[in-house]
Chain A
Amino acid sequence: MAELSNHLMALTVVAYLLAMVCYAGEYAFGKRSHVGRAAARPAVKKQLVGAGAPVSDTVDAELPPPPDDTRVKEDKWGNIIARLAVAINGVGLLLHFGALLTRSIAAGRPPWGNMYEYILAATFVASVIWMAVVLRRPAVRHLGLFATLGLVLLLGLDGMVAYTPVGPLVPALNSYWFYIHVSTIILASGIFLIGAVPAAMFLVRNGWDEGKRSFPYSLGRHVGSAATLERLTFRLHAFAFPLFTFGALIAGPIWAEASWGRYWNWDPKEVWAFISWVVYAAYLHARSTPSVKRNVATWLAILGFGTMLMNLFGVNLFFGGLHSYANAGGM
């Protein structure tokens, strides 16, 4: 079963890679495609009511039909590739689920007993959220290239630096608060991770709209309108933040109190969770401070993403501490 899980994990990465290639194909082909132009169109209403006003998402879809036949043909190709991309992405998601499920069966417990499993689960959440977003709002489909790129990188790193063979939980992890703690943090992390994609693309798109044409900004041409991206960024972060608050700052300390006697120990994982929390709080703050520009606020979200990565990979690699439960036997 553990073997199977490893194979499925490898296949997941392959599927995401393929999906990424297809998204990239659509990105190139779909220049004049329906969605591409919808995305490239500046949000007209933005100026009207000011950023952050409730521009209905349907704006992007209300477009006149393509005027001539050659374009229809190209649209067709772009669309086919795009459908294929989403379909392969979906297959990847199923494989991802399979990897998680088999791992869990092999270990006889939920799949989040060590960093490897934790990242596997968090990326799964990220992938699910991405799927939900792309199915509900085709206008942001162009983000697929970057979403799958992120998934491939994270899963690749997970397999390379964090891989741990299947093992039972050490007694300290055998607590239902631990399950609550880890599952909510995984959920929140997954959402934060995927939230960085629209955040980054908003910054790129914003640069494009300001007339920047050099490399990262040139990517901004085909992603959805700046306002759509910004709002998606906010919605994802606003959803993940209370979850993270509960998982990291309530359930975690409750469990720590029962286990170590202190609800807060300032060990490196806790320090970085605290830092992430403060940075994301700063993002939410900045976003609702009228005098702070949206792109400044969004940089804070990107910074938050950096701190999450630090917690996923950096802390385990560099610092150790009470939370280094990847190694066996410690109480």
Chain B
Amino acid sequence: MTIVEERPAPAAAPPPRRTNPVLALLRNSWRQLTSMRTALVLLFLLAVAAIPGSVFPQRPVDPEKVSQYYTAHPDLAPWLDRLGIFGVYGSPWFAAIYLCLFASLIGCVVPRLRDLVRSLLMTPPDAPRRFERLPQHAELPETQTTAADIARIMRRHRFRTVVREREDGGWTVSGEKGYLKEAGNLLFHISMMVVLVGVGFGHWYGWHGNRILVGGQDQGFCNSVTQYDDSSLGSRVQPSDLPDFCLNLNSFQATYQSNGQAKTFNATVSVTQDNGKAQTRNFTVNHPLRLKHANVHLLGHGFAPILRYTDRYGVSQTKVVPFLPIDVMATSEGAAQFPDVNIDPKTNKRNPDLQIGFEGRYLPTASSTGGATSVYPGENAPALFLTAYRGDLGLDVGIPGSVYSLDQSEIASGALKNVSGAQPHELKPGQTWTLDDGTKLEFLGTRPFATLAIRYDPAQRLVLIGAVTGLLGLMLSLGLHRRRVWFRALPGSGDETGGNLLVAGGLPRTDYPGFGDEFNALVKAAEEGKP
């Protein structure tokens, strides 16, 4: 809080000139925009504008929840969507607020930077005429202390000091200290701009994708857009820009507390980058796999049952199908689809009515009493509960459906029929299930899978640097104090008596409770003539 405004008084108003009204309007708007009051209002608006993002589901965070909201509020949702409520932080009005704020910031920082540089170049100002008006002032008893002594003392206390001698023998010593406060404040505000720029760049040049990686050499993944379950590239990223690497999940270990709470996870993968040699690497939650221009994060894990289906003609097919966990005990749901089965070797034609699909749950630990959910997330008593469907799986229409469930509309229309009864069939690992038409399904066991998020944000480091320098600036700005101290020898006082009559004054330019003590210590040192 500046107590005495030190800015130079505005020059006398120039004679009224006819200015372009448009220019005048622009100038006035800019002045308004860069005032601290406007900054305050904009900060407040920013806080208010952020609220809906915590109340309504956000598409970039959780698209699933947004669709749920659509089903729950079919009338309201489209309107909210038009207002950008499902993507608050990317919406034009949110951007408008922070862009205004940063325009204001630039308009504020530039002149202050200039002022700071100017005040660094200038010497501390001369003493005001009357010290009595200052928050701190003192009269010293007659001393032998000279201007040079006081300047030495002040410099020892790290004041920027200047001595001014006058013709009549009087002199003043002016000292100022705490420039770092203003510098820190500017550093903070500039850092905020750096952070914003970094976040913007990250949006443009970053990309990310999610992928479920099932264990085993045959289930590997190579980095390209088509290999992701879902992905999103920044607006300046082309699919061909993605770095080249391949991953294989060699093993996945999870340990649990006896109450089922997860304790540790560990994924072991083999990585090939830029067609180099394969390396074996470990990673876990909180310790991502850092590759060149990509980071692989472990988000979750689950089990993929291995199923072998043998059709009417004795032809077998094996699939490894990940089942998605739906609760903390890893009760998992999924579906296995076999569209290319029961093909008559004579005609070699696929019969769309003889496709087969299975849907159900996998319980890593089924309870002995036969509940529908798992009782422990590790595989202590694994069991697979499946319902079999035969008919048209609806895969040929070309609309990509979920791979974790069968097409419900095909079941509703009767094109896909339940052929195993109302109760799901239970399978233990190694067991075989013979269906009504004599075809067979074997449950061979499971493989682990890891849910991976693969990301790259080239501006991440810039944002971090901005945040850290911002914090540094903030600490300087809030912790330091700008203040001025002056000593004056009354003119002629040193002549006959041999001693100097000194007065001292102090001006803290910001709220600084300790200033009185500091001032008194300086005065005392000046009295004694030694620091």
> Residues of A at under 8 Å CB distance from B?
49-50, 52-54, 56-57, 167-168, 170-172, 174-175, 177-178, 231, 234, 238-239, 241-242, 245-246, 249-250, 253-255, 257-268, 271-272, 274-275, 278-279, 281-282, 284-292, 300, 307, 315, 319, 327-331
Contact = CB atoms under 8 A, between A and B. Distances in A.
Contacts of B60: 266
Contacts of B261: 167-168, 170, 328-329
A271 B61 CA distance: 12
Interface in B421-475: 453-455, 457, 460, 463-464, 467-468, 470-471, 474-475
A259 B297 contact: yes
A272 B51 CA distance: 8
Contacts of A327: 328
A56 B516 contact: yes
B297 A319 contact: no
Interface centre among B262, B263, B455 (most CB of A within 10 A): B262
Given A285-B39, A285-B40, A331-B285, A261 B262 contact: no
Interface string B284-321: 11111000000101111100000000000000000000
A290 B50 contact: no
Contact of B460 (A167, A257, A289): A257
Contacts of A170: 261-262
- Contact residues of B: prevailing secondary structure: mixed
B135 interface: yes
B39 A263 contact: no
Interface in B1-37: 1-3, 36-37
B40 A171 contact: no
A231 B40 contact: no
30 contacts: A53-B511, A54-B511, A168-B257, A168-B261, A170-B261, A171-B265, A174-B264, A238-B478, A242-B471, A242-B478, A245-B471, A253-B464, A257-B460, A258-B287, A259-B286, A259-B297, A261-B288, A262-B455, A266-B61, A274-B50, A275-B51, A279-B43, A279-B44, A282-B47, A285-B43, A286-B40, A288-B2, A289-B37, A331-B265, A331-B299
A241 B423 CA distance: 60
B512 interface: yes
Interface residues of B, number: 67
A242 B475 contact: yes
B89 interface: yes
B297 A282 contact: no
A329 B44 contact: no
Contacts of A255: 286
A171 B264 contact: yes
Nearest to A285: B40
A275 to B, nearest CB: 5
A74 to B, nearest CB: 32
B89 A266 contact: yes
Nearest to A58: B516
Residue from the set A50, A170, A246, A278 with the largest chain B CB neighbour count within 10 Å = A278
B286 A54 contact: no
B488 to A, nearest CB: 21
B338 interface: no
B480 to A, nearest CB: 12
Contacts of A319: 54-55
B400 interface: no
B328 A231 contact: no
Given A54-B516, A172-B285, A242-B474, A329 B47 contact: no
A192 to B, nearest CB: 14
A328 to B, nearest CB: 5
A61 to B, nearest CB: 14
A266 B53 contact: yes
B257 to A, nearest CB: 6
Interface string B255-267: 0010111111100
A260 B265 contact: no
A331 B286 CA distance: 10
A291 B36 CA distance: 9
A238 to B, nearest CB: 5
A315 B54 contact: yes
A49 B286 contact: no
Nearest to A310: B54
A231 B513 contact: yes
Contacts of A268: 54
Nearest to B88: A266
Contact of A329 (B262, B512, B515): B262
B263 A49 contact: no
Nearest to A234: B511
Given A264-B199, A329-B377, 6 more contacts: A56-B516, A258-B297, A261-B288, A266-B53, A279-B47, A329-B260
B468 A250 contact: yes
A327 B260 CA distance: 12
A254 B43 CA distance: 24
Nearest to A173: B286
A174 B50 contact: no
A271 B36 CA distance: 25
A265 B62 CA distance: 10
Given A279-B47, A328-B328, A265 B513 contact: no
9 closest A-B pairs by beta carbon, nearest first, are A329-B328, A261-B297, A271-B54, A268-B54, A175-B286, A278-B47, A282-B43, A52-B1, A261-B455
Contacts of B298: 331
A51 to B, nearest CB: 8
A239 B467 CA distance: 18
B365 interface: no
Nearest to B456: A261
Contacts of B88: 266
Nearest to A328: B261
B435 to A, nearest CB: 36
Nearest to A284: B478
A296 to B, nearest CB: 9
A246 B516 CA distance: 32
